[in-house]
Amino acid sequence: MSTDLRQRAWDVAATVCDPEIPALTIEDLGILRAVTTHGDEVEVEITPTYSGCPAMNMIALDVETALARAGIAAQVRTVLSPAWTTDWMTENGRRKLTESGIAPPARGGGRRALFGQDAVACPICGSEDTETLAEFGSTSCKSLWRCKTCREPFDYFKCH
């Protein structure tokens, strides 16, 4: 019974979308860390993409609400250790970012150029001839870039 409840709770929590990037679920982002059961009680653990992420309270509330609608009473706990890494993102999540016009982070922290500048491929044309326009984009976890090839601006998901 508890295995079925745990899987059902995971499946429901996994459908919750990130409020800042609604194309991604919290499972896609890798911030849905664990679901455990203790009898009929469910605990869901989530980890922020960075410790000051303003979306975490909303995500926790959305998870609790989704589970309650499914008839599952649960507590959501934010876990800071181990710290989230972009390597926890799913391949599906990376694909969804690209399809949304946001450059996904590279696996393993990304390719670094001289002086620590990221080499970011344009999600529109694929060129790596890109430049940073602003360290912060539409949210704190994104920076604003421009492709020098197709001249289009784009966000880069920069949290590491």
Q: What is the mean pLDDT of residues 100-111?
A: 74
Q: What is the mean pLDDT of residues 11-28?
A: 96
Same domain, 118 and 133: yes
Angle between helices 2-13 and 56-69 (to 10 degrees): 130
Q: Identify the pLDDT of residue 111.
A: 45
Q: Identify the pLDDT of residue 147.
A: 95
Report the CATH number at residue 71. 3.30.300.130
Q: Of the candidates 54, 84, 114, which is a domain's last residue?
A: 84
- Domain containing 31 equals 2-84
Same domain, 50 and 113: no
pLDDT tens, residue by residue, 34-64? 999 988 889 999 999 888 888 999 999 999 9
Same domain, 122 and 147: yes
Same domain, 7 and 71: yes
Q: What is the pTM of this model?
A: 0.82
Q: How far apart are CA 59 and CA 51, in angstroms?
A: 14
Same domain, 26 and 54: yes
Total tally of structural domains belonging to the chain: 2
Q: Evaluate if residue 114 carries a pLDDT over 90.
A: no
List, edge to edge, every strand of the sheet that includes 142-147.
102-103, 153-157, 142-147, 130-134
